[in-house]
Chain A
Amino acid sequence: DAGITQSPRYKITETGRQVTLMCHQTWSHSYMFWYRQDLGHGLRLIYYSAAADITDKGEVPDGYVVSRSKTENFPLTLESATRSQTSVYFCASTLLDYTGELFFGEGSRLTVL
């Protein structure tokens, strides 16, 4: 089925380890986003990408790295995980259409011990 999928859905890691969250969409949407959701903050933008090989920082990019070598994939890497990065991470994509609707993945719950 077409859609946007994230993996892993759940991850427990330790401080200092590298973690990569994967995001794959089958619509060929040009824009892709990574948000983190924390209680009291709603969703905050980490990084976004307008197309393959074009990425830019969002509101809270520190400690994260992204890449987009293919239109359909947008992995998010925590190079050295910290406890403050414990969160639920959402990937999203959109076309530049009238509705401007973001299509979200199911989320990846990351716990950093």
Chain B
Amino acid sequence: AQKVTQAQTEISVVEKEDVTLDCVYETRDTTYYLFWYKQPPSGELVFLIRRNSFDEQNEISGRYSWNFQKSTSSFNFTITASQVVDSAVYFCALSGQNDYKLSFGAGTTVTVRA
């Protein structure tokens, strides 16, 4: 069975601070995919990134960066210089090879105060 744990329920920061969201996963698959989705207050779900288990390179996209560590089964997400518009619920998710059923974590609510 696959499991995703996001231990942080809520994080509150002041604008321009960095914030790191933790994601720990469990899977027996040797090939798998990890995702991050954002859910702003408006409620829609926005795809941020997908990584496969063979690619452990960290990735940066603007103010967003992701740190994938297979040794610790973690796929953490950092927002640098946070902005009020980053306020949202962020979900980490996992799927197996050729399996598009995503298992989601419980989500982390990020509040960025001006």
Give the B-binding residues of A (Cβ under 8 A): 31, 33, 35, 40-45, 48, 58-59, 88, 90, 92, 94, 96, 99-104, 106-107
Provide the bound-state CA to CA distance between A31 and B44, in Å.
19
Residues from chain B with a CB closer than 8 A to the CB of A88 are 43
Interface residues of B (CB under 8 A from A): 4, 6, 33, 35, 43-45, 47, 50, 91, 93, 95, 100-107
Whether A42 contacts B107 in the complex (CB less than 8 A), given A104-B45, A107-B43, comes out as: yes
Question: Which one of B50, B104, B105, B106 contacts A99 once the chains associate, using CB atoms below 8 Å?
Answer: B50
In the complex, the answer to whether B44 meets A42 with C-beta atoms within 8 Å is no
Q: A102-B47, A106-B44 are in contact. Are A44 and B101 (CB under 8 A)?
A: no
Which residues of the other chain, B, contact A41 by a CB distance below 8 angstroms?
Answer: 106
* A35: B residues at CB distance < 8 A: 104
A100 touches B106 (CB 8 A): no
A33 to B101, CA, bound (A): 8
Main secondary structure of the interface of A (DSSP, over half): strand
A42 touches B33 (CB 8 A): no
